[in-house]
Structure 1
Amino acid sequence: MTAVQLGAPAGPSAARRRAVWLAAWPLTAVFMLSNVPTPLFVLWQHRIGFATGTLTVVFATYIGGLLLALPVAGVLSDRYGRRTVLFPAVLAGLVACLLYATAGGVAALLVARLLTGLAVGAAVPAGMAAVADVAGPERRRLASLAGSVAIGSGLAAGPLLAGCAAQLLPAPTVTAFAVEAALLLSALLVVRGLPQVRHEGGAGPWLRLPSVPRPNRRDLLASLAAYMPGMTGTSFLLAFGPSMLANLLGTSNRIVAGGSAFVMFGASTGVQFAVSRWRTHRLLATAAVATAAGMVAVVLAVRAGSIALLLAAAVLAGAGQGMSQLGGFSLLNARVPTGRLAESNAALSAWGYLFAGILPVAAGYLSDARGIAFSATVLGLTVAGTAAIGMLFVLRLGRAE
């Protein structure tokens, strides 16, 4: 394969901007994989036969893989180069595609989700840092926008692709993951052209909990105050959305299921362009408000059996996730030294995904015991309350600065 060369070009500004956006393509391809299974989970559930609690465990195994990768990927990327981490990340995604396409039992789905999590957990810190490397120090804000939008675009496109395949085409799991595998192969071409930036000054063991430099701890806390509930809100809707549509709202149409996820992450992507010039603390506080409103809308949707309210919840949750993601990465990108940037990105992602993995699994088992309406209400109100507390914390830190 021929590499696409993406070192920061010395040419006109437009060429440099294109290079930054192209460098973000591997993030889009990998994050598509994370959400392609979303409309297919109900199909697998009916074909293989497992309870809602098992479904949320399969869904959250992705979080487990991600949390295994993040403590290693950020440090390795800073010390040994972005390509060193991104190549195996994309290859893990390709193996996951094969497992998804041929899955005949829960075990195959669990391994595929684990590999997906490993791919995403490696791609987030290394990919975001690689985009920053291509952008250069004078375009840090553009790098944050390009990387965050690339993630949101992948999250949006994946479920729409799978939903259309499941509703309109034969062998939907094979078709959807064959397309995704082709996209991952194209991402390998981009990875080959990325600059192999290394930072030799890093200290400490290469296997450790990802962290930020001491002066940046308040920045990480401010980011997490909005990012943790934002990620949990979208994770909740991804895990429960198809079941809510099927069990509460009376539709099993896979395009509707995939379309609702597309709407959610489409809102996540679109809102980032609209607010890209906002101050980071304003971004984070507004994100927390949107997340809280989205979770209240979820509670109202399941109580009223309303598709319109569920779509409104998806838009609000997506906007909250998008703004918290952009605000968090922008804050770290602007203030963390380059030699610790990938590790800092890993720290933000690790804590955000940990919160996003625990609550939906607990809600899945609660759903088996008490019903989906009850569990959705409990989780929705919990996340809304957490987001409200996060908003107050961010505002307090913003005033202190």
Structure 2
Amino acid sequence: MSTVTRTAATPAAAHEVTADRVPAPRGRRSHTRRRHGFGFWAVALAFLSVMAFATVPAPLYVIYQARDGFPTFTTTVVFAAYGVGVVGSLYLAGHLSDVHGRRPLILVSVALELVAAVLFLLWNDVSGLIVARLVTGLGVGLLTATATAHLGELRVRATGTASSAAGAGVVAGAVNLGGLSLGALVGGALAEFVGQPLMVPYVVFVVALVVAFVVVLAAPETVDRPASPVPYRPQRLQAPDGKAGAFWAAGTAAFAALAVQGLFTSVAPTFLATTFHVTDRLAAGATTFGVFAASAVSQIVFARLSQRTQIRLGMVLLVGGLVVLAVAAIVLQVAGFIGGGVVAGAGVGLLFRASIGSAGALVGPERRGGVLAATFLIAYAGLTVPVVAVGAALLVLPTLPVLLGYVVFVAVLAVVAGSRLAARA
């Protein structure tokens, strides 16, 4: 965890100092707020574009698999490369926006996604897929904590009220998971209805990412760099002093939440094809879209509930949805499989948002990027490690027992972690 202390005041305090010492003309204050308001939506667009690009390949894995004849385990290796990129980036650089600023890291993230898109277009055998997914993960790891912190700070400065940070948290969570849902749907739809399914989706996102890069250039910075150089060190998985229980409860709950999402961004399309004989590309993309869209929508619909109520509701929806999904897999009801995933996705959204919000509230703005990076590091381990275990298990076990074991593991973890998080809310 970064222990850097910024020389700048917090947004609210900075505004008060300015007002006390040199009152800014009303027109200038209005212009500054509009600029920060524009920056808020520019960063949200970049966040949405990068997260959407991250799931574009999800409905395309079946096409790659059919073309090259590789087993399901290879799909999980490709997906694991993405997770390794995310976790590695969060560990090495996810906290650096506290020192070097939010905007530079967001721009680097978008640039990395552009590199990944070009790799998908020019080098699309298995080795190329692994490298492209690794680069994609590096960009996502740079972005998640940085953009989450930046959105909150921009919103406070645009409105002049510290309470608006809560609304920014809703937007950040919805954009994060909503982008993941959008990418899968766009990838599946383009693959189904447009020629060259392994090219067109990436070309579309090259355009989207270029636009995102340009608009972020106009977004204001919210972090002042320290006056003296700060020694570099990787992100530490260390709780803030005196707050270890709250930090690890938040991290573990986020791990469980993203373990559900990992299932639907990696091997769920293969489950649909092998267990339910659903090979339609749009159906595969729509399934992933439904799960992630439910995650995004639930955060907005239930935003007014208390955090404790959101956590408890999230646990009920997540576990209930997984139970429905498991029963549907046993009785071969594809509608129940998809529906259960959507219900579980709604629970994921509530649990994930509560986890990130709880972690971010443990420290002040000068250390928030580092704490959020540590929490996202734990969360994305949940997106990767269990899925790789599923891929390995599928080498020696039938599909159904592996799926049921995964469901039981995630459900138990979500209940234990969510209960501890709710107790501290």
Q: Normalised by the size of structure 1, how large is the TM-score?
A: 0.91
**Does 2:46 align with 1:26?**
yes
Alignment CA distance shift 1:278-1:333 (3 Å): farther
The answer as to whether partners of 2:317 and 2:347 remain within 8 angstroms in 1 is: yes
Judge which range, 197-206 or 235-244, deviates more: 197-206
Q: Which residue of 2 aligns with 1:4?
A: none
2:400 counterpart letter in structure 1: A
Matches within 5 A, 1:136-285: 136=156, 137-196=162-221, 197-198=223-224, 200=226, 205-285=232-312
1:5 alignment counterpart: none
Q: Distance in 1 between matches of 2:364 and 2:155?
A: 15
Deviation at 1:351, TM superposition (A): 0.5
Number of the residue aligned with 2:90: 70
On the 8 A contact 1:367/1:375 being kept in 2, the answer is: yes
TM-score by length of 2: 0.86
Separation (CA, whole Å) in 1 of partners of 2:148 and 2:368: 9
What is the root-mean-square deviation of aligned Cα atoms in Å? 2.3
1:48-63 aligned within 5 A: 48-63=68-83
Question: Offset of 1:170 from its aligned partner?
Answer: 0.9
Contact 2:75 2:267 (8 Å CA) reproduced? no
Distance in 2, Cα, partners of 1:95 & 1:12: 35
Partner of 2:128: 108
**Segments ≥4 residues shifted beyond 6 Å:** 201-204
Matched residue, 2:5: none
Instruction: Judge conservation of contact 2:54–2:136 (CA < 8 Å) in 1.
Output: yes
Query: Structure 1: how far apart are the matches of 2:363 and 2:397?
Result: 45
Aligned-pair identity (%): 26
- Matched residue SS, 1:75: coil
Give the structure with the larger helix fraction. 1
Q: 2:418: which partner in 1?
A: 391
Distance verdict in 2 for CA 1:48–1:218, change over 3 Å? same
**Alpha-carbon shift at residue 355 of structure 1 (Å):** 2.4
2:130 & 2:284 partners in 1: Cα distance? 21
Shift of 1:60: 1.5
**Given the alignment of the two structures, is residue 120 of structure 1 paired with residue 145 of structure 2, yes or no?**
no
Determine if the alignment matches structure 1 residue 83 to structure 2 residue 97: no
SS at match of 2:395: helix
Deviation at 1:253, TM superposition (A): 0.2
Q: Is the 8 A contact 2:90 2:141 kept in 1?
A: yes
Answer yes or no: is the 8 Å Cα contact 1:285–1:394 preserved in 2: no
Q: Which moved more, 1:61-70 or 1:132-141?
A: 132-141
Equivalent in 352, 363, 373 of residue 325 of structure 1: 352
Amino acid at match of 2:207: A
Residue 370 of structure 1 corresponds to: 397
Q: Is the 8 A contact 1:24 1:128 kept in 2?
A: no
How far the C-alpha of 1:214 sits from its partner, in A, is 1.6
How far did residue 282 of structure 1 move?
2.8
CA distance 1:204–1:75, change in 2 (3 Å): farther
Bigger CA radius of gyration: 2
Q: Secondary structure at the match of 1:133?
A: helix
